[in-house]
Amino acid sequence: MNIPHDSMDIMALLRGSEAERKEGVRLLFELEFIRQYAFYWYRRYLPRIANKYPEWEDLYMESIFGLINEVDEGRGPRTNVKGYFSRLCQNMCEKALRDLKEDEAFDQVISGLLGASDSGYKLRAWIENILSKMECKCETLLRWRYLQTPPVKDKEQLAALLQDECGSKKNGPESYSPIAIPVHLHDCRNKFRGLAGTNPFDFDDN
Amino acid sequence: MSNVIFTQQIKTYLAGKMSPRAEKQFEADLERSAELKKAFLQYSIDAYEPPTSKAKETRQLVEETYQAYGAVPQPTLPWWFHLRVLWDSTMGKLLLGSGLVATALVAWFIVAGQSDPAPPSRQFMSSHIQDPFCPGQAALPATDIFCNGEATIPRLEQMTQDCPGGFCLAEYYLAHLYLKDAQYQKAATAFERCITHYEVIGAYIPKDLDVHNALIFNRILAELGEGKKSRAEIRTALEALLPQLDGYRSLRQDAQEVVDFLDKK
């Protein structure tokens, strides 16, 4: 494939005007080595990151997004774009592992606290309050995952519930597959944390 | 325990910097301690950084470009990428490790098989050199000097400086001295010249002596000592010579011994 610019030129475009930036992003998708490194690191971290990135294209897109963010924040590659991008992909895979671990611990913590008699009811009310402010997908997913007794952990079941409550027939054009449930859960947990930060839970106020 | 310590523990745990034992202990504590659970939840919420508006815009731009780009072809990885991926699995390490060991062994066998064994000893060479012909009565100065045991390499070299017609008998004797002195390269060249100008040597030597084949044999010995030709080439040359030595027992025996030597090594 003929690339009209070398990769350092693309970095310069990303730092430029809005139109140049758009062109820069488009050209990033043309670069073969970006695909190769994303695919390579994805393969190396499989199957540990499959819950966050079900397909290699997910890491590919996320790594492009990450690269642009690095450039926006004044970092980004100065000389060796390939080396920089490879390291970035590796870091993203490592971060995915940490995120998955955090998600797991978060699950355990929420479930544990909801079951605790001292703060359980209050916590439940606090979560309900936050969930009511969320979109259908996250509200449904988090409610079934955390507030239901017993909580629904099965991906197939969660996908069916999501499809039933928020799928194409009712609230939107989306369809949900079991393989994407961990990704949706991760996304919803993050949204939940974002909202929780603005509505802090006071553990000590009993 | 204070929240600061809890937070430190949580950070270390999530960064994957705990030892496996400490990690198990932490998970057990997390299961047991409501305080730690609260600290974890608090940390999880506090540590979460919602995306900035710039990041949201970037994500939207990337997603739009990706949609416009259509299906992304799966890249073809160079072979060493596949090896790295394979290396990451235990089975892959075993496979590649045994492959490397096998390759190293095969390479070693090939190299060991191809490399020539040690050259023949000087004693072996001396015992097989065919001595030059010495007439009962000396006819020429070179013959006189050599056959009376007065020849040295410098002296014969001096005599070869002014040979009429480009070749003289001094070179014939000189070639033998080179070979005895283990100067194999010079010996090989000198014997080659002797073979080329055999008519000069033959004029002084009785017809019933097989000096020509003796010269060829000596040249082969010099080449063996020189080490430029492979053992196989030397052997082929000797095999070609052997049928011509039927009437010359001593020479044939020497040639056969050299063949045996090559086969043994």
The answer to whether residues A3 and A34 touch, using CB atoms and an 8 Å cutoff, is: no
The answer to whether residues B217 and B254 touch, using CB atoms and an 8 Å cutoff, is: yes
Burial zone of B158 (CB within 10 Å; 0-12 exposed, 13-18 middle, 19+ buried): exposed
B95 and B54 belong to one structural domain: no
Q: Which of A39, A43, A112 sits opposite B31 (nearest CB)?
A: A112
Chain A residues near residue B73 by CB distance under 8 angstroms: 35
Q: What is the pLDDT of residues A51-74, one digit of tens each?
A: 888 889 989 999 999 999 888 888
Query: What is the average pLDDT across A134-151?
Result: 88
Q: What is the pLDDT of residues A68-79, one digit of tens each?
A: 988 888 888 888
Percentage of residues of chain A with pLDDT beyond 90? 16
- Which of the 8 DSSP states describes residue B162? G
Please state, in angstroms and rounded to a whole number, the distance separating the CA atoms of residues A62 and A57.
8
pLDDT at site A21: 87
pLDDT at site B55: 85
Report chain A's mean pLDDT, rounded to a whole number: 83
Closest listed residue to residue A171, CA positions, set A161, A184, A186: A161
Name the residue with higher pLDDT: B47 or A188. Answer: A188
Name the residue with higher pLDDT: A7 or B175. Answer: B175
Question: Angle at the Cα of B7 (from B1 to B11), degrees rounded to 5?
Answer: 135
Residue B153 lies in a domain: yes
What's the gap in Å between the CA of B93 and the closest CA on chain A?
13
What's the gap in Å between the CA of B30 and the closest CA on chain A?
7
B160 and B227 belong to one structural domain: yes
B50 and B97 belong to one structural domain: no
Query: What is the average pLDDT across A106-133?
Result: 81
The answer to whether residue A202 scores a pLDDT higher than 60 is yes
Residue B94 lies in a domain: yes
Tokens 């020849």 locate to B151
pLDDT at site A206: 44
pLDDT at site A3: 46
Burial zone of A187 (CB within 10 Å; 0-12 exposed, 13-18 middle, 19+ buried): middle
The backbone region for B149, taken as left when phi is positive above 0, alpha when psi lies in -120 to 50, beta otherwise, is left
Residue B187 lies in a domain: yes
B237 and B257 belong to one structural domain: yes
**Residue A38 — very low, low, confident or very high, per pLDDT cuts 50/70/90?**
very high
Residue B228 lies in a domain: yes
B135 and B239 belong to one structural domain: yes
B183 and B56 belong to one structural domain: no
Residue B74 lies in a domain: no
Q: What is the pTM of this model?
A: 0.57
The answer to whether residues A113 and A119 touch, using CB atoms and an 8 Å cutoff, is: yes
Chain A residues near residue B60 by CB distance under 8 angstroms: none
Question: Cβ–Cβ of A44/B84 closer than 8 Å?
Answer: yes
Question: Cβ–Cβ of A25/B61 closer than 8 Å?
Answer: yes
Expressed as residue numbers, the domain containing B20 is 3-68
pLDDT at site B117: 60
Q: Which two tokens stand for residue B15?
A: 């960064």
Chain A residues near residue B34 by CB distance under 8 angstroms: 112-113, 116, 118-119
Total domains in the fold of chain B: 3
pLDDT at site B136: 64
pLDDT at site B101: 93
Domain boundary, last residue among B68, B88, B103: B68
Domain boundary, last residue among B31, B49, B68: B68
pLDDT at site A42: 92
Q: CA-nearest residue of chain B to A31?
A: B75
pLDDT at site B156: 85
pLDDT at site A64: 92
Please state, in angstroms and rounded to a whole number, the distance separating the CA atoms of residues B113 and B129.
29
pLDDT at site B35: 81
Q: Which of A61, A108, A116 sits opposite B62 (nearest CB)?
A: A61
The segments of chain B whose pLDDT lies below 50 read none
Indicate the length of chain A as a whole number.
206
The answer to whether residue A93 scores a pLDDT higher than 90 is yes
Q: Which of A35, A60, A72 sits opposite B58 (nearest CB)?
A: A72
**Residue A39 — very low, low, confident or very high, per pLDDT cuts 50/70/90?**
very high
B140 and B239 belong to one structural domain: yes
B157 and B237 belong to one structural domain: yes
